[in-house]
Amino acid sequence: MNAKAHYSTSIKTEAKRLGFLSCGISKAEFLEDEAPRLEAWLTRQMHGEMGYMENHFDKRLDPTKLVEGSKSVISLLLNYYPSEEQNQDSYKISKYAYGTDYHFVIKDKLKSLLQFIQEEIGAVQGRAFVDSAPVLDKAWAAKSGLGWIGKHSNLLTKEVGSYYFIAELIVDLELEYDTPVTDHCGTCTACIDACPTEAIVAPYVVDGSKCISYFTIELKNEIPTEFGGKFDDWMFGCDVCQEVCPWNRFSKPHSEPLFDPHPELLSYSKKDWDEITEEVFKKVFKKSAVKRTKFSGLKRNIKFLQRD
């Protein structure tokens, strides 16, 4: 086994030990296929008020502009599928936000993996990314053979569906590179047909400015009235396109205690959410990604759902 293959195998073994679902590696280079897609998406204003999506266009497409001298992108998946779900009579929260904010959980694991690489291999320089910099996570994961990008624009795998986070280490070390897998969506249009706000405007194209996740998390102003009655009780994020995807029949519960939800999150009814105070919000969502929308944002979302 040559050095590149040996290093790659060691990194994947350690990633598994740290609890990652899978690990794939690709060459750090310009994402040629993504460039026109991203440009068209931005030109059509599908990012809504997410102005930051327009920034660092070159860096989004070229990791060597993000990390000097980078040679490899190590992509990792971490499962977040819960073993228990919310009470049936409840406003809904996207499953990824049930437990501790994933940014913290994954960042720690990535730091451990980078440390392992430096101890085992030598003076390797690199940076960890979890949704926090201009990196096209899904494109890199697909390039690294971890799955294909489905018609709902999420990464999909035949083995476990799509309920997982994607993260990267971009390093200045040459490794053995994986190859992409084929698309297995076939003629299925379940996600397109089920989207409550018709945000999947064409196969593989999501208009972010129509997505329930955008309205309930990213949008800072009032939610447009024309979307009233279309939110299907989602108060933070939305999982509809994942819930209807046939590949998610294979989802298995995660084994990360930090992703376990606060008990009240599972038991609360709509009435409990209607009456939530800022004190309770801080207690239930102390370390949760839901804090992004703030108490005022969650109240706005609940108020919008009450009109239905």
Kindly tell me if the per-residue pLDDT of 188 is higher than 70. yes
Cα–Cα distance, 231 to 213 (Å, whole number): 10
Give residue 184's pLDDT band: very low, low, confident or very high (50, 70, 90). very high
pLDDT on residue 223: 96
Q: Which residues contact 274 (CB under 8 A, 6 or more apart)?
A: 302, 306
Kindly tell me if the per-residue pLDDT of 153 is higher than 70. yes
Number of domains in the chain: 1
Per-residue pLDDT reduced to its tens digit, 107-136: 999 999 999 999 999 899 999 999 877 788
Cα–Cα distance, 1 to 144 (Å, whole number): 20
Nearest to 83 by CA among 99, 101, 102: 99
pLDDT on residue 52: 67
The strand pair at 164-171 and 126-129 is best described as: antiparallel
| Whole-Å CA distances, 54 to 41, 49, 176, 245 | 10, 10, 33, 30
Nearest to 78 by CA among 41, 121, 45, 107: 107
Cα–Cα distance, 101 to 293 (Å, whole number): 13
Cα–Cα distance, 293 to 308 (Å, whole number): 21
pLDDT on residue 288: 93
Mean pLDDT of 205-221: 93
Cα–Cα distance, 220 to 214 (Å, whole number): 10
pLDDT on residue 303: 96
Per-residue pLDDT reduced to its tens digit, 74-84: 999 999 999 99
Tokens standing for 181? 């897998």
59 DSSP assignment: H
Domain that holds residue 283: 1-308
Give residue 14's pLDDT band: very low, low, confident or very high (50, 70, 90). very high
Per-residue pLDDT reduced to its tens digit, 53-102: 666 677 788 999 888 999 999 999 999 999 999 999 999 999 999 999 99
Q: Which residues are catalytic?
A: 131
Maximum mean pLDDT: which of 132-136, 240-244, 259-263? 240-244
The strand pair at 22-27 and 200-202 is best described as: unpaired
In terms of C-beta distances under 8 Å and separation of at least 24 residues, what long-range contacts does 288-294 make, across chains too? 288/97, 288/98, 288/99, 288/100, 288/101, 288/262, 289/96, 289/97, 289/101, 289/102, 289/103, 290/93, 290/97, 290/236, 291/101, 292/217, 293/216, 293/217, 293/236
Mean pLDDT of 210-239: 95
| Mean pLDDT taken over the chain | 93
Q: 262 or 28: whose pLDDT is higher?
A: 28
